[in-house]
């Protein structure tokens, strides 16, 4: 880095990376001493756009469902309130880390594919995770996201049979959106659609839907899905897929049975975007070996952190990230303050991240129904629609983009040891 520059490199422009960047720019960087050097955020992301992926189950079906301006945003617009020299944007993705020399290598995601080495004073790994289906995440450019949406829409348009694997929120939400799109909703005195056109089956892979919530909530989700013409099967999970000669997909299940369908959707989990990291910094599942209390990556040397899905800390929900950002950012800021004073570590205790383990999740099932709970209290269907089902939280995307979600510094009380 140039003389006098202290780069805080943030890898990833989704909720975690944006949150930490804004939190530091609002609450810590302005307070750091100027005689040490100029602190600057360098935000590295494969696209110039912030992709609000929470909206994917509905947005992936086309512009008339959720227009792209409600889930794709210019990253730079979110940071226009800060001095221009306080942040740089790099369109690219990390491909290697040399933590001994405090350098990350980034490959451009334009046609050049050029690589560059970026030195860091502090590093925040917020590269997120990717779903099994390309339309549910952004690991590449905005053009790739749009192309995956278009491909999905073309396949859905003529599909007469669909299998969705995975009984978690993504599987349930996807099944609900497809069910209503293809089969419509039932009338006032009917329990199933009047004109079912597509066989849609959701395989939970377990004993029930939404296993992190109480059984009654999963049962209600199943009832709502059946009203949209979606069949639900428990106790079977897919083991493999293959392409048939007619272009359809053959799905093989755990009992050895097979089924041929027009579309197969794998909603069974995520893979952390961490392949580029040294193996000693990754656990057996590929998540960054992160201190679950402080978000530090202790094995990577001073001032290296992981936040969000890639960290393996918490439960990878939006609410978890919203709680993790202030905790992680406070520790980053305090580490920077300590280093500016020549101290090896901050004075006093760290800010400890504590996962809210109370039953909390909201899951729309189509455009008018939904299930969920908040802080241990079950929510009625109307409340789920009001919170998430009407717009898939896109009304809150702006707060993530511009940092207004963290306009005020989160207060905390140090734990007494």
Condensed to tens digits (0 to 9), the pLDDT of residues 123-162 reads 999 999 998 887 777 667 788 888 899 999 999 999 999 9
Q: Are strands 270-272 and 129-131 parallel, antiparallel or unpaired?
A: antiparallel
User: What is the average per-residue pLDDT within 291-313?
Assistant: 97
Residue 401 to residue 294: CA distance in whole angstroms? 24
**Token pair 């009654």: residue:** 216
Q: Residue 194: which H helix or E strand, with range?
A: none
Q: What's the pLDDT score for residue 301?
A: 97
Could you tell me the sign of the dihedral formed by the alpha carbons of 80, 84, 90, 96, in that order?
negative
Q: What's the pLDDT score for residue 139?
A: 65
CA angle 344, 4, 345 (to 5 degrees): 10
Could you tell me the sign of the dihedral formed by the alpha carbons of 387, 388, 390, 395, in that order?
positive
Q: What's the pLDDT score for residue 374?
A: 96
Q: What is the pLDDT of the chain when averaged over all its residues?
A: 94
Rg (CA), the chain: 23
Q: What's the pLDDT score for residue 136?
A: 78
Q: What's the pLDDT score for residue 141?
A: 78
Please list the residues that pair with 265 across neighbouring strands. Answer: 164
What dihedral angle (degrees, nearest 10) is formed by the CA atoms of 145, 266, 60, 126? -50
Find, among 383, 303, 290, the residue nearest to 336 by Cα. Answer: 303
Question: Yes or no: is domain 5-132+270-357 CATH 3.50.50.60?
Answer: yes
More confident of the two residues 415 and 223: 223
**Token pair 């049975």: residue:** 257
Task: Say if CB 291 and CB 156 are below 8 A apart.
Answer: no
> In which residue ranges of the chain is CATH 3.50.50.60 found?
5-132+270-357, 158-266
User: What is the average per-residue pLDDT within 92-109?
Assistant: 97
Separation of CA 129 from chain center: 7
Percent residues over pLDDT 70 in the chain: 98
Confidence class for position 36, pLDDT limits 50, 70, 90? confident
Taking the chain, what is the end-to-end CA distance rounded to the nearest angstrom?
A: 39
User: What is the average per-residue pLDDT within 34-47?
Assistant: 94
- Residue 352 has phi, psi (to 5 degrees) of -95, 125
**The pLDDT of residue 35 is above 90:** no
**The pLDDT of residue 268 is above 90:** yes
Residue 360 to residue 376: CA distance in whole angstroms? 6
pTM as predicted: 0.94
- In angstroms, the Cα distances linking 21 to 8, 124, 412 are 9, 9, 19
Q: Which CATH number fits domain 158-266: 3.40.50.1220, 3.10.580.10, 2.60.120.10, 3.50.50.60?
A: 3.50.50.60
Residue 208 to residue 219: CA distance in whole angstroms? 8
- Residue 330 has phi, psi (to 5 degrees) of -60, -45
Region of poorest pLDDT, from 44-53, 130-139, 263-272, 287-296: 130-139
Please list the residues that pair with 372 across neighbouring strands. Answer: 362
Q: What's the pLDDT score for residue 34?
A: 87
Task: Give the burial string for 395-407 (b: 16+ CB within 10 Å, else e).
Answer: ebbbebbbbebbe
Q: What's the pLDDT score for residue 68?
A: 94
Task: Say if CB 251 and CB 257 are below 8 A apart.
Answer: no
Half-sphere exposure of 202 (CA within 13 A, CB side): 35
Residue 148 to residue 392: CA distance in whole angstroms? 19
């Amino acid at each position: 880095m140039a003389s006098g520059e202290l780069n805080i490199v943030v890898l990833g422009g989704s909720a975690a990376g944006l949150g930490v960047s804004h939190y530091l720019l609002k609450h810590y960087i302005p307070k750091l001493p100027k005689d040490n050097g100029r602190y600057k955020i360098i935000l590295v992301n494969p696209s110039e756009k912030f992709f609000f992926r929470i909206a994917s189950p509905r947005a992936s079906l086309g512009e008339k469902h959720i227009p792209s301006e409600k889930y794709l945003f210019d990253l730079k617009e979110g940071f226009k309130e800060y001095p221009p020299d306080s942040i740089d944007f790099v369109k690219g993705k990390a491909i290697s880390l040399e933590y001994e020399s405090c350098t990350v290598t980034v490959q451009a995601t334009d046609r050049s594919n050029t690589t560059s080495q970026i030195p860091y004073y502090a590093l925040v790994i917020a590269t997120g995770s990717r779903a099994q289906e390309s339309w549910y995440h952004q690991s590449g450019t905005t053009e790739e996201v749009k192309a995956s949406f278009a491909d999905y829409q073309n396949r859905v348009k003529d599909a007469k049979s669909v299998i969705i694997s995975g009984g978690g929120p993504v599987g349930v939400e996807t099944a609900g959106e497809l069910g209503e799109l293809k089969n419509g909703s039932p009338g006032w005195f009917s329990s199933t659609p009047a004109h079912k056109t597509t066989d849609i089956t959701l395989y939970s892979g377990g004993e029930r839907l939404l296993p992190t919530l109480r059984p009654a909530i999963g049962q209600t989700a199943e009832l709502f899905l059946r009203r949209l013409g979606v069949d639900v099967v428990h106790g079977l999970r897919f083991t493999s897929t293959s392409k048939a000669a007619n272009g359809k997909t053959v799905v093989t299940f755990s009992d050895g049975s097979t089924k041929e369908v027009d579309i197969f959707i794998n909603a069974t989990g995520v893979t952390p975007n961490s392949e580029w990291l040294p193996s000693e910094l990754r656990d057996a599942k590929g998540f960054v070996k992160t201190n679950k209390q402080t978000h530090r990556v202790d094995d990577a040397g001073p001032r290296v952190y992981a936040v969000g899905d890639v960290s393996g800390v918490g439960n990878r929900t939006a609410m978890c990230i919203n709680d993790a950002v202030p905790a992680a950012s406070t520790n980053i800021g305090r580490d920077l303050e300590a280093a500016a004073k020549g101290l090896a570590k901050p004075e006093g205790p760290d800010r400890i991240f504590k996962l809210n383990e109370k039953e909390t999740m909201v899951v729309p099932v189509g455009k008018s129904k939904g299930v969920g709970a908040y802080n241990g209290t079950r929510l009625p269907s109307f409340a789920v629609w009001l919170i998430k089902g009407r717009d898939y939280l896109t009304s809150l995307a702006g707060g993530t983009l511009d940092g207004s979600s963290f306009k005020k510094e989160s207060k905390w009380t140090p734990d007494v040891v």
